[in-house]
Amino acid sequence: MLVVEGLTKRFAGLLAVNNASLSVAEGSITGLIGPNGAGKTTLFAMASGFLAPSAGRVLFTGEDITTEAPHRRARRGIARTFQIVKPFAGLSVRENIAVGAYLRHPQRAETLASATLIGERLGLGPQLDKPAASLTVAGRKRLEVARALATEPKLLLLDEVLAGLNPAEIRDILPLIRAIRDEGVTIFLIEHIMQAVMTLCETVHVLARGEIIAVGPPDMVCADPKVIEAYLGPGAAARLNAAEAPRA
Amino acid sequence: MTLRDVLPHLGFLFALAVVPYLGVSGPTLNFLIAVLIVALAAQGWNVLGGFGGQYSFGHAAFFGSGAYATAILQVQLGWGAWVGLGASLVVGAIVGLAIGFLSFRAGLRGSYFALVTLAFAEVLRIVANAAGFTGGAAGLLIRLQPGFENLQFADRRHFYLLVLGFVGVALILSRWLERSRFGAHLVAVRENEEAAKALGVDTLRVKLGAIALSAAITACSGCLYAQYYLYIDANVAYGTWISVEALLAPIVGGIGTAFGPLVGALALHGVGEATKLLAGGRPGLDLVVFGGCLILAIAFAPRGIAGLAARVLQSRSAAREGR
């Protein structure tokens, strides 16, 4: 569904993403993990059109969309959420979702009906008429997802929607993400919370210092020495193995 | 949008339409016409500034272009006043698109956009003051020829109704913005441009549409001004006074609401006029009151009179439900 080929982003002297290639299979939940500053959000920004890559290509359903503006990608069916949530603070929750829903429904009545439905589904029912500024962190994260979902996407890019939530809130939202996928929306997510990545994702890509260093099912990737070293520093994998060896 | 959506607006317009037939004096009617012309300019500003969040400090550029378009066509080329009115709208929209294209494509927003619009208005003022076809510093005098075909009326009440008609169109247009997809997109751009883009909003196009509409409405106000006073010069048409008036009224009345600019213009000038009467000959006191109103509005009613009214209505219905 989404294919990224040799994507590179250079900010002056800093190489944020270096020749990264990956693909997201249709109907999958695919994860992108990596230590802080690895370039995950930069890669997302290039996939959704908010940043122009220095080199490389982005393909969506086989078509090259590397130079397309974000709103055109949204029309094609790519929706994204923002790690730093961006609610339309002055509007009500329903109106927030409606902006997304207007993409496929030009009529106000249909749009509002669709927004209400999606809001309720994401557990925002009681807050629909309240200003978005009054939502809690968890509420704002849900609103990000609701708005993106209202555009009726084929591919949903979720940038750390679980960050800042407490364990109970995470438990509530995980089945929701899976349900969205079961309805046919492909999901590509950045996440730090490993428990969530392990339970949700079928395939995980690991990005470290701008480069993809591992791909595979989550349990395999987590055992990969290269991945452990990327998180914990050089030599960490060997030390971990040594520490576990006597016990075994 | 159904009839029910605009019922209160039509009611308000009707009430305003009856006023001149209640035996008001000539000076009062004069005052009301001036207020409505300012209100129309403010309604134009509100489309871009209120709904779109792009604060222009230079709506004089559109007001003046509208005024000069009709005056030049009539005085220099001998065209009819109605053609001049149509030309004003078109010229206004084009000037708006040009300024919008240059500044929005460069990504200007906030105070940078405000300063650029101010600069454009000043450039136009200086050019109009120097050029020949604008009458230079002497300005342009439209010949007095009362008659419907010349958009001049022996009975001032008719001109009042004409201006009110345009104010009404702008009011319904603003109401449409509150209820339509284009309006929702415009408000989304105001609240967060990045998020709007992610939801499929072509933000550049939405902003250009808004500035064209905004400029055309304000240009219409400029045209009516020229048509009523039959004289303009660069300092009136492109003067800072109208840029300030156009943004004061919505801020006091309720920024980004359909009623805001109209209510704000009526309230501000009502208070201003009352001060002039009470203060007698002391000049400038009405301006002091203007400033005071602005400070009060920003401090205590950031959503203006319309926001205040909505809050009162809400707390009333909440109290009723409580019982």
**Measured between CA atoms, how close is A67 to chain B, in angstroms?**
15
**By the CB < 8 Å criterion, does B155 face chain A?**
no
Instruction: Give the per-residue pLDDT at A231.
Output: 86
Contact list in B for residue A87 (CB cut-off 8 A) is 191-192, 195
The shortest CB-CB distance from A75 to any of B179, B191, B200 is to B200
Shortest alpha-carbon distance between residue B57 and chain A (Å): 23
DSSP symbol at A79:
E
The crossing angle, in degrees rounded to 10, of helices B285-300 and B260-279 is 140
Model pLDDT for residues B242-294, shown as the tens digit of each residue: 999 999 999 999 999 999 999 999 998 888 888 888 877 777 887 788 888 88
Helix/strand/coil for A129: coil
| ipTM at complex level | 0.90
Residue A22 pairs in a beta bridge with A4
Q: Which of B179, B194, B200 sits opposite A103 (nearest CB)?
A: B200
- Mean pLDDT by runs of 10 across the 248 residues of chain A is 94 92 95 91 94 95 94 96 94 96 95 96 93 92 95 95 88 91 95 89 93 93 88 81 70
pLDDT, position B322: 58
A52 interfacial to chain B (CB closer than 8 Å): no
Provide the 10 A C-beta neighbour count for residue B1. 12
The residues with which A207 forms a beta bridge, in sequence order, are A212
Subunit contact B179:A100, Cβ cutoff 8 A: no
Per-residue pLDDT at B37:
97
Q: How far apart are alpha carbons A112 and B188 in whole angstroms?
A: 15
CB pair distance less than 8 Å for A71 and B187: no
Low-confidence stretches of chain B (pLDDT beneath 50): none
Which residue in chain B is spatially nearest to A91 when comparing CA positions?
Answer: B191
Q: Which CATH architecture has domain A2-244?
A: 3-Layer(aba) Sandwich (3.40)
Q: Which residue has the tokens 């004089």?
A: B60
Partner-chain residue, chosen from B184, B195, B197, that has the shortest CB–CB distance to A102: B184
Residue of B180, B192, B203 with shortest CB distance to A88: B192
pLDDT at B289: 82
Domain B3-251 fold is: ABC transporter involved in vitamin B12 uptake, BtuC (1.10.3470)
Interface contact B199-A99, CB threshold 8 A: yes
Chain B residue closest to A143 (CA)? B195
